[in-house]
A and B are shown apart, each in its own frame.
Chain A
């Protein structure tokens, strides 16, 4: 296949002559030699378009796309109605950029308004922004808000928060000179004793996750009670699906609620795109990164939507910004809005109930095999930790041969949790699938 570079050898010589050098490499003389690629990229020989297409298809077919999924750990296989993909594929949605001109983007603005309203209602908070990149960055941005408002340099985070979220948090904090202090676990939940020891008058914010990384429902009220310093912000990472049956973080006194709405937007797609959300109290609304769309009326009294509050710092006070967030996941937010709208209140409640019941059923079937035990005996939502004799990697390899994606091995992130697996059952799993999964687990 010909490389489509229009300049000929002669063109190139002429251009180099004009700027007075002999070859292209001289343009890059400022880059130290040891940083330069010393050999050509190892990507094989050029191919024709037909060959290339075949090769990529071959590689693509190596992916398993029809596995029965019992894995969660931050990415969930939930039901997303077919209408969602169909509607977001309309070009007026997927080509729309930030709606700065309200007169031509009423539809987009209304979508964002609906999204914010749903997120605020589900989390029990005053307001939500228009979406963020993913749950991990939302949590880190939440920490930044806490640090800015309190002018403090320490964030306390529970070890029951998703390890990947904690890694992103640490990256953000490192470059702001904010110290991240981790709270130990007590039987799969945040240790209240250790939390008390680690909170001080230096703590800007406390981050906990509920349902936590192990699927367990944390006692958000008890944690709130232990954050006695009025300045310290309470940041709760949550799962919107769980909001169908659990008390909202807002009701437990959260100042900032963050999380990932991938469950309602993109499904499982090889690592992305995800959809971060952030909701906040009235007191903190002006410190929230991103933008807010409000509902108003136009000069004829007709209902209309407008960017009401986008932190002014984004345009005219950038050097004072609490965040560099200036774009968001609008299309994913729209997908989540449509999904939540289609499910409705009753649908969401049923979805949550099914996750809860089916995961409990899965556990009971796994325990029946007599080969595993429940690691933490606490109420969980859709994920739970089991412990066996065999390494989860070996179990998963065998499951994979039967078309099943098994639980998430925890030892890598939690060395003390040897031979444990985090199993997830969503509403999508049928009784047949669960029974078959448990049976296979018992045979290993």
Chain B
């Protein structure tokens, strides 16, 4: 997971040029438990950093997913509508949204793997 950056809200982001894929971390899916529903935003919706872009509902909780950085939605992973458990099975493969970055500088505020692992350990 070298290429990934992480947010304190347990989202990961993978940058590809001026776009990026966003999903939730393994730690997040384990804490949520079996995921039963993912509420996705719409393409062209724009969000600020830390703004909620969707909702992930598991058998025991429902929580918002927050933008690790600001951006415009250019694609949503529609497969999650029918198979929300993909987030449990393959959290780093099952991206939730693909965005167009509006400020690449914001990436600097995110955590790298070791910093994120430290955060998770504190959580535990």
> Which residues from B are CB-within-8-Å of A313?
62
Question: A292 to chain B: closest CB distance in Å?
Answer: 13
Is B37 at the interface (CB under 8 A from chain A)? yes
Which residues of B in the span 41-64 have a Cβ within 8 Å of any Cβ on A?
A: 57, 61-62, 64
Question: Which B residues fall within an 8 A CB radius of A?
Answer: 37, 39, 57, 61-62, 64
Question: A148 to chain B: closest CB distance in Å?
Answer: 12
Q: A286-B39, A317-B62 are in contact. List 8 more A-B contacts (CB 8 A).
A: A286-B37, A312-B57, A312-B61, A312-B62, A313-B62, A316-B61, A316-B62, A320-B64
Give Cα distance in the complex from A317 to B62, angstroms.
Answer: 8
Question: Which A residues fall within an 8 A CB radius of B?
Answer: 286, 312-313, 316-317, 320
Give Cα distance in the complex from A41 to B105, angstroms.
Answer: 69
Question: A103 to chain B: closest CB distance in Å?
Answer: 18
Give Cα distance in the complex from A313 to B62, angstroms.
Answer: 8
Give Cα distance in the complex from A316 to B61, angstroms.
Answer: 8
> Which residues from B are CB-within-8-Å of A286?
37, 39
Question: A392 to chain B: closest CB distance in Å?
Answer: 51
Question: A216 to chain B: closest CB distance in Å?
Answer: 37
> Which residues from B are CB-within-8-Å of A312?
57, 61-62
Question: B21 to chain A: closest CB distance in Å?
Answer: 24
> Which residues from A are CB-within-8-Å of B61?
312, 316
Q: Which 8 A-B pairs have the closest CB atoms?
A: A312-B62, A317-B62, A312-B57, A316-B62, A316-B61, A286-B37, A286-B39, A313-B62
Give Cα distance in the complex from A312 to B61, angstroms.
Answer: 8
Task: Name the residue of chain B whose CB is nearest to the CB of A315.
Answer: B62
> Which residues from A are CB-within-8-Å of B57?
312
Question: A151 to chain B: closest CB distance in Å?
Answer: 9
> Which residues from B are CB-within-8-Å of A317?
62
Give Cα distance in the complex from A90 to B39, angstroms.
Answer: 42
Task: Name the residue of chain A whose CB is nearest to the CB of B60.
Answer: A316
Task: Name the residue of chain A whose CB is nearest to the CB of B39.
Answer: A286
Interface centre among B57, B61, B62, B64 (most CB of A within 10 A): B62
Give Cα distance in the complex from A420 to B109, angstroms.
Answer: 70
Give Cα distance in the complex from A413 to B62, angstroms.
Answer: 45
